[in-house]
Amino acid sequence: MSSAGHRWLAATLLGLAALYLSAFHDDRHRIATWLVFALPPAWLALALFRPSSRAPFWAGVLALFWFSHGVMAAWTRPYAPALATLEIILSLAVIGLASAPGLRARRAARASRRQD
């Protein structure tokens, strides 16, 4: 993944962590929800800058959970549709950014096979 790709993915993950910090600020179990929801994307954003990191892969895997949570929140919490929609959009962005290098490599491999 390119340096620019890492920066975009890190920014998206930090945005997701900030969303969770703000969404659960009045929760009765605030610390527990922050540990479960806000800490993983923040940790993955920091891990992106280590060499040979598997953080993009795990960000994509966890984004499926975040997406599912956003859909569930949209259906069960009608008072906060904007937060749920933002969670869905950010999780889809994480999935797209984490998958982009693999999709580009697959497209390039197909193109080289066609030329042979």
Residue type, 72: M
Sequence letter at residue 107: R
Mean pLDDT of 9-19: 96
Which whole-number Å values give the CA distances from 41 to 46, 71, 78, in the listed order?
A: 9, 18, 25
CB crowding 5-18: b at 16 or more within 10 Å, else e: bbebbbebbbbbbe
Q: Number of folded domains in the chain?
A: 1
CA distance 35 to 27: 13
The runs of H, that is alpha helices, within the chain are 3-23, 30-33, 39-47, 55-76, 81-115
List pLDDT tens digits, range 21-73.
998 888 888 889 899 999 999 999 999 988 767 999 999 999 999 999 999 99
| Prediction pTM value | 0.86
Which residues span the domain enclosing 38? 3-115
